[in-house]
Structure 1
Amino acid sequence: MEEDLSDLLKIYGVGAAPSRRAVQPGSNGRPIQLVSNLYNVSVQAPTVYRYEVTIDRIGAKQMVGFKNARKNVTSVRLNQRAVTQFAREGYLGSCVPAYDGRSILYMMRPLPSPITSATVTVNLDDGTECDEFARKQQFEICLKEIGPLSLRTFNQEVVQALDIIVRTGPLIEPSIVPVGRSFFSRTMSNLGDASMRGCRELWFGYFCSIRPGQWKPMLNVNISATLFHEKLPLVDYVVKFLNKNTPDELKNGLKASEHEVLKRELQGVKIKVTHLPYQRRYTVAGISKKGAADYTFEVNGARVSVADYFENHYGIHLRYPALQCVETLTKDGNKNYIPMEVCETIEGQHAKIVNSDQTAVLIRKTAMTPKKRFESIDKFVKKVVNEDAAAHLREFGLQVDLKPVQVKARVLNSPTLEIGKQGTLKPRDGYWRMEGKQFFIGAELSCWGVADCHGSGRCAEFAKSLERLGRNLGMKIEPPAFVRNYQKVPAKKMLSEIKSQFPQIVMTLVIMGRDTEYEVIKQLSENDESLLQITQCIRGSNIESKKCNNNFITNVLMKMNAKLGGINNGLKEVPECMREPFIVFGADVSHPGPTNDIQPSIAAVVGSLDSTPSQYHTVTSFQRSSTCNRLEYIANLKVMIKDCLRAFYRRNRTKPMTLLFYRDGVSEGQFEAVRVFEILQIRMACKELQDDYEPPLTFIVVQKRHHVRFKPLNDADSRHENIPAGTVVEDTVTHPVNFDYFLCSHAGIQGTSKPAHYRVLHDDANRSADELQTISYSLCHVYGRCSRSVSIPAPVYYAHLAAARAKDHFKAANIHPSSTSDGSSGIESGSSLLQKEIGRDLDLHDLKRLSSNVDARMRDYLYYV
């Protein structure tokens, strides 16, 4: 199989990723000096010794119902405690180990034997771990020698080792809670204003990781923030989460809808009980259907209710006997039922975000000016070096320079944009105004109407303003064919009535109310041929608020124009390589949540159709692997690329002579697998269309999920303390071997700007650094939703939006057992048509059928913007 793959790679010209040394640094733009949040690391030790770690929790095989019970390796924190105890008992000699909490351990000196094993006992009485079955746990630990690792050669294995060395100290500190690659504690957070709706509180902490620089490893430290469950008596937690006023509202128990949403909220949450003289902790497995007074079990041959048992056995008279109980699991898999009023949630539990309100509050509260962020980062670096990781840095001979790395950068010139009436404009600080200007190509809107699902009295006035401003912007808009009230009318009935009475309907503006079925509207209007029409959904509260001004309406018109096939603005000047027929692709893979076993991953690919490039053909595809839903590469890419190339040919009557492919959604560990598979698929797609069709291809991964930040060294170079739009970094802090660069293409509105990280994985067009950086920056100026340059190229954004829309279609088809949530309370809203029971498992035929469900006439338009 490997030989077959090797032959295919040779046949289709898929070689190694471009080397940094093969590409001359860029020179366009004016110079600027920056400060980074990276710190040089000096490595004194020549070698470390690696060991493979296996940990068995003794007795775990008898535990039924918990995922960890079926695995040798338990939680990272518990593993760390076990290995720490292993070292305390002398099995590692005098060495201070660096351990990743899973399977790899490093030491400065080798052990006498290649295999070392022992059984240790960990005392859990201090409450740092929740365990239902014992306060003392035994672990069988085995270390197997892998071999020495030289730290003199700088590669990914060395970066991983250094990363584990730095991170081990915080991982074993009891007061610190690790979440992903970040560390949190209450002492790091200013909790005065931390409480949020939905029983969440905001904790601050720090991200900490080693990453390669051009000349040496660097410590990357950034401010992190995430949500944790509030520590509350469980009855108070339920009252707050369900938006009740007092606990007395729970006297009659939970309603069915409340039961479902509370069950989803509490499953997996750790609690402690207050009715015992000693500390006992549990993990919530569910919520009982019946209340404590109604649920009975057998005691000494007689049936007794949970409420009576607690009164007789513990002397506790329940205030809310009708309230449902917490379900937990015993060692043999049986259920325990515990009244909520004797339970409390435990501090330090990471919590999921349950609604968009929490997301908005999180963004607002975590937005820090660069000055404040970098001051806080400096404090955390000192904390890491002098406290949390100090012992391990000393043991392994690592020295961290406490002065942040300074970087030479450049600010690229903004591209000239084409607008209507043969006009041009030059963005300033990543922004331009549309007042007194027209769209480059204004779309025609002959038959349209307004469906008022909100009950607003301003719909007719809003429609007139829309019509007037649209004409000013160069659109050809007729007066609306209708403005009608559709409050409490099901989406399908509304769309059917509109299509029946107005067969030529092109677009319907849907003014959304609280219960408007957004996903259903999109799924029916974009997938159902009999209901086909473009929809523009607007929240009713927005057209009634003060922000419904000309700027707001202009933004709505920008979306409408893009959906209708118009072009808001194009690129006046394109690089030399874009003057022959070319196509730009954007691609993304969106994954379901880690606990979602039903919904597949969704891949989306968009391909440009015009030279501006502002118009795109879109293809989406559902996919899953044989073992899980998360398939990192795009399995159906060859078919999707062929579809885009055919659409390009239909529009232009010629094939593109060059291909530029931007890929989002790839983690660093997946680079090579994605590069090899997807480039091969693109090459095969071209050859299958025409045997001698071999256009040059540039394949770039765009990453936003990283923690590198910059600020200007000199205040005079900053705007709101941020780096200017167009700032590009390709020196010092970039990869020592591979061709990559950071580009901040947008102006920071709030907080600290985050640059995108571009990794060039393939380029047989041999483009220069200046060409690729200029193209990438220019493409950030043709995003149809706003008159600003955005943080990543427009086709990448479009692929992301297309994948999100495919997810809406999937939900609305009643296949995924998910539900929408009321933004204010976390309670399931009446608009949800989604199944509550477990959905059927989709086979490959189902996925292919759903992938192509968007009507063919929609796919050449940006129906998702």
Structure 2
Amino acid sequence: MSQRGGGGGGGGGGGRRGRGRGRGRGGGDYNYPREPPTGAEAPYAQRGGGRGGGRGRGGDGEGAGPQPPPHGAYQARRPHAAADAPSSSSSSSAAAAEALGEEVRRLAIREEAPGAPAAAAAKQEEAAAAVPVARPPASSRAVKYTPRPGFGTVGTRCVVRANHFLVQVADADLCHYDVAISPESKSIAINRAIISELVRLHRPSLLGGRIPAYDGKKSLYTAGALPFDVKDFAIKLAGEREKEYKVTIRFAGRADLHHLQQFLDGQQRDMPQETIQVLDVVLRETPSTKYVTALRSFFSPTFGQRSDIGEGLECWRGYYQSVRPTQMGLSLNIDICATSFYRAIPIVDFVGENLKLSYNARPLSDRDVVKIKKALRGIRVEATHRRDKCIRYRISGVTSVPMNQLMFPVDEQGTMISVVQYFREQYRYSLKYIHWPCLQAGNDKRPIYLPMEVCKIVEGQRYAKKLNERQVANILRATCQRPQQREQSILEMAAFNDYKNDKYAKEFGMTIADQLVSVDARVLPPPTLKYHESGRERSCNPAVGQWNMINKKMVNGGTIQSWTCLNLSRVPPVMCIDFAQVNPRPSVEIQFANPNRLEAALADVQKKSMGRLQLLIVILPETRVIKRVCETELESCRNAACQGMLSGGITSSISKIQVGGRNTVLEDALRSRLPYITDRPTIIFGADVTHPPPGEDSSASIAAVVASMDWPEVTKYRGLVSAQEHRQETIQDLYSLHQVPDRELLIAFHKATNRKPDRIIFYRDGVSEGQFGEVLLREVDAIRKVVLSCLDGTCVLDIC
């Protein structure tokens, strides 16, 4: 039996009242994205299974209970004497971890002693606000997790299989070396080729027979010391003319397996990330040289049938791989994934599919040229007009004039000739698409013009931009699997990789099990949802996380006084008018506009409503742009309806429109049975930062913060959205002089409930492990300042 879930990471820290968190990748259904995915594997490559272990309550007791006994799946002896002392990074990490514990413990804000001067609090707030943004907050410390107090007991016990393979590591002296390549190359593929050639030439002699593992950037690892501390090598790659690389390898330190063993045994609380990284690099070495790499995933056309997803793109199968510490010991997490690649087709066909041309020879409009330029920029093509050799180019742009008008000099005297004439005289090639522009490679000083009809897209190039809805549907349809099928695919992938015979795994003494691990799990009972008493069904118990609104009435329906409809699609006007007739008459006349005038149309609606618009329904083929403009600029849009939703999917969308009402409430909340909620006034925050897709180098990131506005039901939420610096993960306006969303939400909670919160529960999504410490320290520090400023330190407050 293969169920969703899994035994991922070894449960995190329990907080007050015995709560704990555990995170790990499970082996089940797809983990779908919150936004339309991009071609980049990270946002959408279906890694499946969600996160096993999940978040859940631990034991029922107060405080820190006993540490759960480890499962000895990892046997590693203490390394050699040379590695006995922890590395500097490990020492500093341990010291930082100890320091953060003090900060976390002091985050509980207590009531001031009677008679304490109010000026002291004001001074404290002023001093805290004066901390420069560029520096870590004054209260910053490193992370120290509280031991998990125990295991939960609620629910039906079962056993699931997780997509983890246990790893055993023999005693080894793991050495870390810094690598410097000159001239520096930004290409990981070139860096790997250079180091591969270095190993081929010097492994038997200068490298002492070692087989190093290289991360493609600045780090190289060996199982045992090299015969030198620092050494320079001169490497010349085959095919490179008159270009030689200087490679400097310098000893940097040792990764201590003893610390990893202590962490897995529960004797050490700071995770030795450097040691885990070494082992991860070792197991990634072989696939990195054989497959197309995307972050932690590998893709190849040999992994399964490729699927056409439209507009010149296709879906490739692959797998995700990562070494993870778990409660059972060290494990290798493997999951099946998929992402989009450019099809290896002629450029003419690619243009035809993108522009949906019925015949390819017609001239391209200025709008067509802009679209094709955006689609082709940065991809590699190969010229097909020369039979004697194949030359590859990287496209930098598209010419502004068609090739029959494009002239360039052919000699030092400046003799000008058209591209059409040059190909006819030089290659005896008669071009057909003379009204189309040329592709441009090279640079502006020495441009290279390539007719589209003689170019073909090079295979194996990942599409790293945002997919449209149709492409998303196609890729999901092509890759969707049941849990049992996914389990079999994972086992087949592990067998195909043949870790037992991997030369790098053997070199570093790593052994990988060939079966998935089994994990104890619990199926939690679903919460009972309460609806309005006048409906046929007054309560609902969701089955498998799903339910519908048939025979149910919302608990508190919202009231709309001012609304209108804006049609930017090809939906007939009569449909919009009919839609308006089944509702109260719109306060602003229904408008029809061209999608190219989106912002102007929205501004016109805002002006006519005089800023009193509560609901704006926009009908258009694509919703992403309209929501961005309304939420970040006009602040008037509650929902956007896509044209395809009018036929059947709009019911679900309507139920999500926020107009101040409540769809349902938890029955346990009405009966005062919600743990950590009903005993004290509690506000629940949620925050996330959405980043622009790969390839967007300047677009702003969007930060969103929501908070509950009712207690103890916690079903009404208010949200605030703001733009911030490109790809900045820390929420910049959480506490600032210009906008303080947390402060606004806390004040709104006070007005709505007539109570000041005694407890804050803050859910933060989308932070990677590498950024977690910094984001935690900065944002918790900002929350503390907000609480001090708006609650005046007059209440006992827990920050969870």
TM-score normalized by structure 2? 0.74
- 1:652 paired residue among 753, 777, 784: 753
Counterpart CA distance in 1 for 2:721 and 2:608 is 32
Tell whether 2:169 aligns with 1:43: yes
**2:268: which partner in 1?**
none
1:288 corresponding residue in structure 2: 399
Q: Report Cα offsets for 1:33-88 as digits up to 9, x if no partner.
A: 1000000000013321111111124xxxxxxxxxxxxxx23211211111110000
How far the C-alpha of 1:577 sits from its partner, in A, is 2.0
CA distance in 2, matches of 1:317, 1:394: 58
1:311–1:112 distance in 2 versus 1, CA, 3 Å:
same
- Structure 1 pair 433/247, CA: closer, same or farther in 2 (3 Å)? closer
Q: 1:245 to 1:433 in 2, by over 3 A?
A: closer
Q: Deviations over 1:407-449 (max 9, x none)?
A: 0011112122221128433222222332222111112235555
Matched, 1:510 2:617: yes
Q: Equivalent residue of 1:89, what SS? A: helix
Is this contact kept in 1: 2:529–2:540, CA < 8 A?
Answer: yes
What secondary structure sits across from 2:434 in the alignment?
Answer: coil
Aligned twin of 2:197: 85
In 1, distance between residues paired with 2:304 and 2:189?
Answer: 21
Task: Please say if 1:428 is aligned against 2:428.
Answer: no
Partner residue, 1:152: 258
Aligned residue for 1:538? Answer: 641
Aligned partner of 1:147: which letter? Answer: G
Structure 2: distance between partners of 1:659 and 1:203:
44
How is 1:82-481 mapped onto 2 (pairs within 5 angstroms)?
82-90=194-202, 91-124=206-239, 134=240, 138-154=244-260, 155-173=272-290, 176-191=291-306, 194-249=307-362, 252=363, 254-276=364-386, 277-300=388-411, 301=413, 302-329=415-442, 334-352=446-464, 353-386=466-499, 390-421=502-533, 423-446=538-561, 448=563, 450=565, 454-459=571-576, 461-463=578-580, 478=584
Q: Is the 8 A contact 1:222 1:377 kept in 2?
A: yes
**Aligned partners of 1:491 and 1:521 also within 8 Å:** no
Amino acid at match of 1:185: S
State the one-letter code of the partner of 2:751.
R
Question: For the structure 1 residues 520 and 385, does the alpha-carbon distance in structure 2 shift closer, same or farther, using more than 3 Å as the test?
Answer: closer
| Superposed displacement of residue 105, structure 1 | 0.8
Give 1:3-18 correspondences, 5 Å limit: 12=107, 17=143
| Matching residue's letter, 1:671 | F
Deviations 1:335-382 (A, max 9, x none): 221222222110000013442221222222221111111101001111
Provide the residue aligned with 1:817 in structure 2: none
- Pairing of 1:504-653 with structure 2 (within 5 A): 507=614, 510=617, 512-513=619-620, 519=625, 523=629, 536-543=639-646, 545=647, 547=648, 552=649, 554-560=651-657, 563-574=658-669, 575-579=674-678, 580-611=680-711, 612-624=713-725, 629-638=726-735, 639-653=740-754
Q: Distance in 1 between matches of 2:495 and 2:651?
A: 48
Residue 601 (structure 1) shift: 2.0
* Structure 1 residues 690-705: aligned runs within 5 Å: 690-693=791-794, 695-698=796-799
**Contact 1:86-1:92 at 8 Å conserved across structures:** no
Q: Secondary structure at the match of 1:282?
A: strand
What's the secondary structure of 2:358's corresponding residue? Answer: coil
Per-residue CA distance 1:82-136 (angstroms, 9 max, x = gap): 1110000014232211111111111122221111221112225xxxxxxxxx568
Residue 499 (structure 1) shift: 7.5
Describe the superposition over 1:776-821 as per-residue Cα deviations: whole angstroms up to 9, x where unpaired: xxxxxxxxxxxxxxxxxxxxxxxxxxxxxxxxxxxxxxxxxxxxxx
CA distance in 2, matches of 1:459, 1:74: 53
The whole-number CA distance in structure 1 between the counterparts of 2:611 and 2:433 is: 59
Q: Note the alpha carbon deviations across 1:250-306, whole angstroms, 9 max, x for none.
A: xx3x32111111111111101111233222211111111122232222223221222
Q: What is the DSSP-based 3-state SS (H/G/I as helix, E as strand, rest coil) of the residue aligned with 2:440?
A: strand
- Equivalent residues of 1:492, 1:521 under 8 A apart: no
- Contact 2:401/2:437 (<8 A) preserved: yes
Would you say the 8 A contact 1:292–1:306 is kept in 2? yes
- Where relative contact order (Cα < 8 A, 6+ residues apart) is larger, the structure is 1
Deviation at 1:215, TM superposition (A): 3.8
Contact 1:558/1:568 (CA < 8 Å) preserved in 2? yes
Find the counterpart in structure 2 of residue 795 from structure 1.
none
Matched, 1:689 2:790: yes
Report how far residue 602 of structure 1 moved.
Answer: 2.0
Query: What SS does the aligned partner of 2:236 have?
Result: strand
C-alpha separation between the residues in 2 aligned to 1:524 and 1:380? 45
Greater mean alpha carbon deviation, residues 89-98 or residues 376-385: 89-98
Stretch of structure 1 that moved more, 484-493 or 662-671: 484-493
| 1:162–1:25 distance in 2 versus 1, CA, 3 Å | same
Deviation, structure 1 residue 461: 4.8
Distance in structure 1 (CA, Å) of the matches to 2:611 and 2:180: 67
CA contact (8 A) 1:526 1:533 kept: no
- The answer to whether the Cα contact below 8 Å between 2:276 and 2:324 also exists between their aligned partners in 1 is yes
Q: Secondary structure at the match of 2:787?
A: helix
Q: Unaligned regions of 5+ residues in structure 1, if any?
A: 58-71, 125-133, 468-477, 699-762, 764-865
- What is the CA–CA distance in structure 2 between the aligned matches of 1:620 and 1:81, rounded to whole Å? 46
Distance 1:289 1:502 in 2: 42
Alpha-carbon offset, residue 689 of structure 1? 2.2
Whole-Å Cα distance in 1 between the matches of residues 605 and 247 of structure 2?
68
Residues 710-789 of structure 1: pairs in structure 2 closer than 5 A: 763=800
Q: Return the alpha-carbon distance in structure 2 between the equivalents of residues 690 and 223 of structure 1.
A: 49
Cα 1:494–1:156 change in 2 (3 A) is: closer
1:308 Cα offset (Å): 1.9
Amino acid at match of 1:142: T
Report how far residue 200 of structure 1 moved.
0.3
- C-alpha separation in 1, matches of 2:285 and 2:550: 56
Are 1:73 and 1:102, in contact at CA under 8 Å, matched by a contact in 2? no
Instruction: Name the SS of the counterpart of 2:259 in structure 1.
Output: coil
Q: Note the residue ranges of structure 2 that are not aligned, 5 or more in a row.
A: 1-94, 109-138, 261-271
Normalised TM-score (structure 1): 0.68
- Measured in 2, the distance between the counterparts of 1:11 and 1:485 equals 56
CA contact (8 A) 1:36 1:404 kept: yes
Distance 1:508 1:640, change over 3 A: closer
How many residues matched? 638
CA distance in 2, matches of 1:150, 1:449: 65
Provide the C-alpha distance between the structure 2 equivalents of 1:457 and 1:690, rounded to a whole number of angstroms.
Answer: 53
Deviation of 1:521 after TM superposition, in Å, equals 8.2
Segment drifting more, 238-247 vs 580-589: 238-247
CA distance in 2, matches of 1:151, 1:496: 62
Q: Is the 8 A contact 1:100 1:168 kept in 2?
A: yes
2:182 to 48, 52, 56: 56
- Work out the CA distance in 1 between the residues paired with 2:428 and 2:655: 67
| Alpha-carbon distance between aligned partners in 2 of 1:640 and 1:238, rounded to the nearest angstrom | 46
In the TM superposition, residue 572 of structure 1 has moved relative to its aligned partner by 2.0
Q: Does the CA-based 8 Å contact 1:606-1:616 persist in structure 2?
A: yes
